[in-house]
Structure 1
């Protein structure tokens, strides 16, 4: 055996287009990538659906101002409704008055006591530091501060 015979037995390294471009993948490899990508798309879709549901689902407690009445240059009455999924719990709401320039000129925290009604209407007078032109319900929460707890 000569030295040249041993070189001929070894496979030739690829050259030309086969060396530049990868060889085709096996069907099993393509199927595996398809399954991995499909599972990834489904998981991503479920995460997006959950985040959308959390963002746009009905909140446990919501409220809206239904009207206001300017009583004097330093007070405004605000009428509002509060909706809650669990009416057995007390709710704390913040009602405020705003001036012509949009500045908050008065604020009051109000306790909505537990009841058997899901929707409760209320009216609150807010003292202001200057004339208010609108009264609004800023927000409501189930985390009632201790100083607003009803006396038993």
Structure 2
């Protein structure tokens, strides 16, 4: 015969299950990793860039040529930069692309007009992006 001790004297004999400590550590780790990921994405998206380009206009010059006009602003104007401009056809597909070397200059902001050859009649042109990491084959020329 089993007897149970009196609850008023010894307390309840049923245990309430406690969550495992490792679950709390794993959840804490996941929160820290997620926070670091969000901080990294925010920094790369909203940080001040050393080179920034802004498209001004595009002009269709011929059946397969377009001039794209844009400005480039650099933190250090004595540093060379490269910008990629492209043309697109009516359906939105890329039909022409060109890398434009931006030489060092005394001015922080320079205005460039770059002709771009296209494989089909161009309908629009845009500035794809700019960087201070100039490929060696552009520097040599």
Per the normalisation by structure 1, the TM-score is 0.67
Shift of 1:99: 0.4
Question: Is it true that 1:72 corresponds to 2:67 in the alignment?
Answer: no
The answer as to whether partners of 1:86 and 1:118 remain within 8 angstroms in 2 is: yes
Given candidates 39, 52, 59, the residue that maps to 1:62 is 52
Q: Greater CA deviation, 142-151 or 60-69?
A: 142-151
The Cα RMSD (Å) is 3.2
Contact in 2 for aligned 1:91/1:112 (Cα 8 Å): yes
TM-score by length of 2: 0.72
1:17: how far off? 2.5
The number of aligned residues is 124
Shift of 1:93: 1.0
Measured after TM superposition, the shift of residue 117 of structure 1 is 1.4
Mapped pair 1:17 → 2:12: yes
The SS at the match of 2:61 is strand
Runs of 4+ in 1 over 3 A off after TM superposition: 46-50
Secondary structure in 1 matching 2:43: helix
Distance (Å, rounded) in 2 between the aligned partners of 1:101 and 1:81: 27
- Residue equivalent to 2:26: none
Point out where structure 2 has 5 or more consecutive residues left out of the alignment.
18-28
